[in-house]
Structures are given as structure tokens and as C-alpha cells.
């Protein structure tokens, strides 16, 4: 599902919301989630899953075309862990 599909479904499911209101709501939620992760926080949505950060330490890697050793800096990456309800629902839909 894309962001525009989410906005369309929100507007259809909640008739009191205009498409513009649904767009603003979706944008505010996603922006809040992004800001929380950027600050190093964790997001838990019961029944859906958890968004957290994985920390990858600095390491040395290789350039595949030249074989030269390059330094890969440390980084933080977002990671999603599905909740029990979501896993069960996906498994049941097979």
C-alpha cells in the first residue's frame, strides 16, 4: 500500500474526513514516527509491531570492482518487528 492509497482508504472509511484532512493526518503520523526514530526512540503499535533502531558498528569492506579496502562508517538503521497479531493474520491469509 502506498501513502496515497492509505489516504484514499482513510477518506473512504471516515466520511467526516475530507481527502485533505486524511492527507494531513497520515502525514502527521508518519512525520511523528520519523522524528521519534531520528531521536533514537522506539515506536510500539500494539497488534501491529515495533519500530526500533539497529546499530551497525564501523567496519572495513571491499570495493567489489577494484578489491580496494574501504572504511564503512557506523550507522543506525530503522528495523521493524511484526507483532503477534500481525504475524498470525498474515499466516492465516495463506
Structure confidence by residue, pLDDT tens digits, 1-10:
999 999 999 9
pTM of the full structure: 0.77
- Across the chain, the runs of DSSP E, i.e. the strands, are 43-45, 49-56, 59-62, 69-72, 75-82
The SS3 of residue 30 is helix
pLDDT band at 93 (very low <50, low <70, confident <90, very high): confident
Cα torsion through 12, 14, 20, 26, rounded to 10: -100
Q: Taking a C-beta distance cutoff of 8 angstroms, is the pair 60, 71 a contact?
A: yes
pLDDT for res 55: 95
Distance CA(82)–CA(58), nearest Å, equals 27
Q: Which is the CATH superfamily of the domain at 42-94?
A: IHF-like DNA-binding proteins (4.10.520.10)
Q: Taking a C-beta distance cutoff of 8 angstroms, is the pair 56, 75 a contact?
A: yes
pLDDT for res 58: 97
Can you give the residue ranges of every domain in the chain? Answer: 1-39, 42-94
Percent of the chain with pLDDT over 90: 94
Amino acid at each position: 500500500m502506498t501513502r496515497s492509497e492509505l489516504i484514499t482508504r482513510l477518506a473512504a472509511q471516515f466520511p467526516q474526513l475530507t481527502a485533505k484532512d486524511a492527507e494531513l493526518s497520515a502525514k502527521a503520523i508518519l512525520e511523528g514516527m520519523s522524528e521519534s526514530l531520528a531521536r533514537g526512540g522506539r515506536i510500539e503499535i500494539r497488534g501491529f509491531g515495533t519500530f526500533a533502531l539497529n546499530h551497525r558498528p564501523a567496519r572495513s569492506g571491499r570495493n567489489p570492482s577494484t578489491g580496494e579496502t574501504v572504511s564503512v562508517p557506523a550507522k543506525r538503521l530503522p528495523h521493524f518487528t511484526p507483532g503477534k497479531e500481525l504475524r498470525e493474520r498474515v499466516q492465516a491469509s495463506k
